[in-house]
Chain A
Amino acid sequence: MTYKKLTDPFTEKESTNTILRKTDNAVIPFDDANTDYIEYKAWLDAGNTPEDA
C-alpha cells in the first residue's frame, strides 16, 4: 500500500484534507470515521511517508 499527496484543484495548493491511495486511485478524506483514513493513519504510524504531490 502506498499513498500520494494531492493538489487541491481549487486552491492549487497541497490538499490538507485528502490523500490518494495509489493501489486503486482512491481519494481518502481526512475523517476519523472513515475506515480508509484510519488505515492510512496506521500506515503513517508504522513509519511510512506519502509521496509528494
Chain B
Amino acid sequence: MSQLNVNAIRSANGTGDAISLAAASNTCTANITNNLSNRNLVINGAMTISQRSVSTAWAANGYLTCDRWNHTINNSAGRFTSKQTADGPDGFRRCLELDVTTADTSIAANEHALIQYKWEGQDVQQLAKGTAGAKKFTLSFYVKGNGNATYMCEFYDRTNDRLTRQQFSVTSSWTRVTLTFNNETSNGTINDDNSHELDMSIWLHAGSDFTSGTYTANTWAAKTNANRAVGISSLFSSTDNYFKITGVQVEVGDYATDFEHRSYGDELAKSQRYYYKNPSNMYLTKYGSGSICNVFNPVTMRANPTITQGSGFSISQISPYSFYIYKSSGDSGVAENGYEVSAEL
C-alpha cells in the first residue's frame, strides 16, 4: 500500500488549491463543482413547475407561470407574456420566457419591470449576513435573448433595507452567467422567520427614477432608488424582444457549482409550501343542513393560506395544515369545483 503525503492539490496552471488537507483533523476541504446536494437556495430554478399556467399575458403583478417567480410591471405601457417555454441549454428542457407583446420606447421616470424571487428569512440564515462570519454567495443562471442586452441583478435585504447589485449581459445564445456577491458583517442580520426578508430581482426595464444614479457593483448599501438599474437595456424597446432564463442557482461560497437538478416531485413539493391548485372536483359530506369537506394541504404551508373557491361556499378553520370547505345547503356526495391555496411571499 502506498500513500500520497501532500498538504494541497492544485492544477499545474492554477492559482489556488482545489483540495486542502488538514493535518489535525485528517480531513480535507475540496472545491468540488458537481454532485453536491441541497446547496441551491432557489426552488424551481430549472422552471419545471408551473402550477398556475404555462402561458399568461401580464395583466397584474404577481406569480403568473413558473412557480416562485414573481413578475412586476409598474407604470409602463410595455407588456409581456410570461411563458414556461420548451427551450434551454444542454440538460434543461424548460425556461421562463418573457415575450414582449407591447413595446414602450417613451420611458417615464417612474417606470420599471422586473422578475423577482423571494425568500423566507429562515431559509437564508446560512448566509450569516450581518455577522462576523458573513459568507459570500454565488448566483448562476442560464440566459438568452434575441440580441445583446445588459440587465441588472439585485439582492435586497428587506429586514435592514440594504441592497447590492451586479450587471450581466445577454446574447442570442444560451450563456451561463455567474455572479459572486460579497456579504457584509454589519448593518444587521436577516430576520429568522417565515416572512419575506430577502429577494433577488432582475431589472429588465426602468425609468430615470431608477437609472439616473451611480452603478457601484457588488457593494451593499442603503436603498437609493436612482442606483438600482443604472446602465440597463430596456426589454420593452421592441416587440421582437424576449428574455429567457433557467438553471437559476444561489449557493453559499465564491464559485458556482454545477446546477443542482432536483426531481419534479421534489420541486413540486417545495413549491407547494407557497401555492397549490387542485382543479379536481371534490365530494362534500352531509353536515347539519349543509355539507362539508375537510381539506388537508399536500405539504405544510408557509403561513395560514388564502383560499380561493367558487361562490356559494364558506371556508373555515384555515391553518398551514388544513381547512374546511362548507356549503350551507346541499347533499353529501355532490361533486364541486376545485380550489387554489396560496401562502406566497
Contact A26 B344, beta carbon cutoff 8 Å: no
**B345 at the A/B interface (Cβ < 8 Å)?**
yes
Q: Which of A10, A21, A34 contacts B343 (CB 8 A)?
A: A34
Q: Which of A20-53 contact B (CB under 8 A)?
A: 21, 24-29, 31, 33-36
- Note all chain B residues with C-beta closer than 8 A to A25: 308-311
Interface 9-residue window, one of B48-56, B81-89, B130-138, B312-320: B312-320
**B307 at the A/B interface (Cβ < 8 Å)?**
yes
A10 to B290, CA, bound (A): 11
**B304 at the A/B interface (Cβ < 8 Å)?**
yes
- Given the known inter-chain contacts A7-B314, A18-B315, A18-B318, please indicate yes or no for A26 contacting B303, CB distance below 8 A: no
Contact B305 A29, beta carbon cutoff 8 Å: yes
A21 to B308, CA, bound (A): 9
Interface centre among B316, B317, B343, B344 (most CB of A within 10 A): B316
- Note all chain A residues with C-beta closer than 8 A to B193: 33
Contact B306 A27, beta carbon cutoff 8 Å: yes
**B236 at the A/B interface (Cβ < 8 Å)?**
no
- Note all chain A residues with C-beta closer than 8 A to B345: 35
Shortest distance between the CB of A45 and any CB in chain B (Å) = 19
Count: A-B pairs, CB below 8 Å: 59
Q: Which of B195, B196, B306, B310 contacts A28 (CB 8 A)?
A: B306
A26 to B343, CA, bound (A): 12
**B180 at the A/B interface (Cβ < 8 Å)?**
no
Interface centre among A7, A25, A29 (most CB of B within 10 A): A29
- Note all chain A residues with C-beta closer than 8 A to B304: 29, 31, 33-34
Contact A27 B328, beta carbon cutoff 8 Å: no
- Note all chain A residues with C-beta closer than 8 A to B171: none
Contact B305 A35, beta carbon cutoff 8 Å: no
Shortest distance between the CB of B148 and any CB in chain A (Å) = 36
Contact B314 A9, beta carbon cutoff 8 Å: yes
- Note all chain B residues with C-beta closer than 8 A to A7: 314
Q: Which of B288-345 contact A (CB under 8 A)?
A: 290, 292, 302-311, 314-318, 324, 326, 328, 342-345
- Given the known inter-chain contacts A35-B196, A36-B342, please indicate yes or no for A29 contacting B306, CB distance below 8 A: yes
A30 to B241, CA, bound (A): 42
A5 to B309, CA, bound (A): 16
- Note all chain B residues with C-beta closer than 8 A to A14: none
Closest to B62 in A: A35
Shortest distance between the CB of B113 and any CB in chain A (Å) = 20
Shortest distance between the CB of A15 and any CB in chain B (Å) = 8
A35 to B199, CA, bound (A): 15
Q: Which of B305, B314, B317, B326 contacts A34 (CB 8 A)?
A: B305
Shortest distance between the CB of B54 and any CB in chain A (Å) = 20
- Note all chain B residues with C-beta closer than 8 A to A28: 306
Shortest distance between the CB of A21 and any CB in chain B (Å) = 8
- Note all chain B residues with C-beta closer than 8 A to A31: 303-304
Closest to B308 in A: A26
**B194 at the A/B interface (Cβ < 8 Å)?**
yes
A24 to B318, CA, bound (A): 18
Shortest distance between the CB of B123 and any CB in chain A (Å) = 14
A29 to B304, CA, bound (A): 6
Closest to A6 in B: B314
- Note all chain B residues with C-beta closer than 8 A to A15: 316
Contact A27 B302, beta carbon cutoff 8 Å: no
Q: Which of A17, A24, A33 contacts B308 (CB 8 A)?
A: A24
Q: Can you sample 16 A-B contacts with CB below 8 Å?
A: A7-B314, A8-B314, A9-B290, A9-B324, A10-B326, A18-B318, A25-B310, A26-B308, A27-B309, A28-B306, A29-B305, A29-B306, A33-B193, A33-B194, A33-B303, A35-B344
User: Which residues of A line the B interface, CB within 8 A?
Assistant: 6-10, 15, 17-18, 21, 24-29, 31, 33-36
